Amino acid sequence: MFEPKPWLLAHGRSLTLGPRALVMGIVNVTPDSFSDGGQFDNLERALRQAERLIAEGAQIIDVGGESTKPGAEPVSPQTEQGRIIPLIAELAKRGDVAISVDTYRAETGRLAVEAGAHILNDVWGLQREPDMAGVAAETGAGLVIMHTGRERTKLADPIEDQRVFLARSLEIANDAGVGKDSIVLDPGFGFAKETADENLDLMARFEELGSFKYPFLVGTSRKRFIGTLTGRGPDQRDAGTAATNVILRMQGAGIFRVHDVAMNVDALRFADAMIDRGLVAQSERCREPSV
């Protein structure tokens, strides 16, 4: 799970997954996101925030124009597109960062890739608008398929629920012609995982998801279950976020979607250093002559 693997993206780009953790910085161009709503809801502020996250070490910027917090009011496709397309176009001019669009709408995804985005990040795992898979196949975009428990009855076992949901999403992607090297999975921490225990159980058993044989992105950043354990509000959960990311990195997660890039880059460097030491030790044990 730590061996190099190319993640193929739109516009001829790719990223290498496996040996080093990659950090995806969040820029929500929304008035109502749960921890940073209204902070970056115009182009100038959003661009400044994206540039700060890139300077802190983000290899990917994830741009969202509709809040996905529980109970958030949906916005029209036109509103979503009006918020994010100008920012994506400006970021694309830089050329030094991969751009992800956080949307489940196929048309928004298509317009975002045309504006310069490289990755489609679908929080409904292709099961709200399956045409998103066609957009990924036609444009060559990287595709993040996220698990969610919203608007359906979940299975009691969290890993089995992941397997059933994501298997259906992968079937949609395969039928549309999306290449395996374009796909990354996301277990969807906080998305209808109703209690802290449910999220912690998923984290404790995360390594079991390796049976999918796909790379994984995780997004625990500032989620409510971190607040339940720490007693801290959304904007004070970055240390807890970094702790969860180290735990998940040691179990094989490859990409980490976060609000505070600098703290998580530092934490993940230590995780990578320990992984390296473990792999070296394992290699040395394999070379030892048998007695």
pLDDT tens digits, 1-33: 899 999 999 999 999 999 999 999 999 998 745
**Contacts of 67 by beta carbon, 8 Å cutoff, 6+ apart:** 28, 30, 32, 33, 34, 37, 73
Give pLDDT, residue 74: 86
Taking the alpha carbons of 221, 30, 101, 53 in that order, is the dihedral positive or negative?
A: negative
Catalytic residue among 83, 154, 193, 257: 257
Q: How many CB atoms lie within 10 A of CB 242?
A: 23
Residue that the structure tokens 């998305």 belong to: 191
What three-state secondary structure class fits 285?
Answer: helix
257 is an active site residue: yes
- State the greatest distance between any 2 C-alpha atoms of the chain, in Å, as a whole number: 70
Give pLDDT, residue 1: 84
Q: Which residue type, as a one-letter code, is found at position 256?
A: F
Give pLDDT, residue 289: 60
Give pLDDT, residue 283: 65
Q: Is the pLDDT of residue 34 over 80?
A: no
Give pLDDT, residue 31: 79
CA angle 173, 146, 219 (to 5 degrees): 145
pLDDT tens digits, 172-210: 999 999 999 999 999 999 999 989 999 999 999 999 999
DSSP string, 221-268: TT-HHHHHHH---GGG-HHHHHHHHHHHHHTT--EEEES-HHHHHHHH
Q: Is the pLDDT of residue 119 over 80?
A: yes
Question: Which range is least confidently modeled, 23-32, 65-74, 228-237?
Answer: 65-74
Burial code (b: 16+ CB inside 10 Å, e: under 16) for 195-230 equals eeebbbebbeebeebeeeebbbbbbbbbbbbbbeee
Mean pLDDT of 264-290: 83
What's the CATH number of domain 21-287, 3.40.228.10, 1.25.40.340, 3.20.20.20, 3.30.300.30?
Answer: 3.20.20.20
Mean confidence (pLDDT) of the chain? 93
Q: 200 or 290, which is more confident?
A: 200
Distance between CA atoms of residues 100 and 143, nearest Å: 9
Alpha helices in 177-235 (DSSP H): 196-204, 224-230
Mean pLDDT of 32-37: 50
SS3 helix, strand, coil % of the chain, rounded to 5?
A: 50, 15, 35
Tell me the backbone φ, ψ of residue 165, rounded to 5 degrees. -65, -50
Q: 226 or 32, which is more confident?
A: 226
pLDDT bucket at 68, cuts 50 / 70 / 90: confident
Q: Say if residues 26 and 259 touch (Cβ distance below 8 Å).
A: yes
pLDDT bucket at 287, cuts 50 / 70 / 90: low
Give pLDDT, residue 111: 98
- Nearest of 187, 212, 203, 286 to residue 245 by alpha carbon: 203
Boundaries of every domain in the chain = 21-287
Q: Left if phi > 0, otherwise alpha if psi is -120 to 50, otherwise beta: which for 171?
A: alpha
Give pLDDT, residue 182: 98
Note if the pTM is more than 0.75: yes
Catalytic residue among 154, 193, 222, 223: 223
pLDDT tens digits, 90-118: 999 999 999 999 999 999 999 999 999 99
Alpha helices in 154-222 (DSSP H): 158-176, 196-204
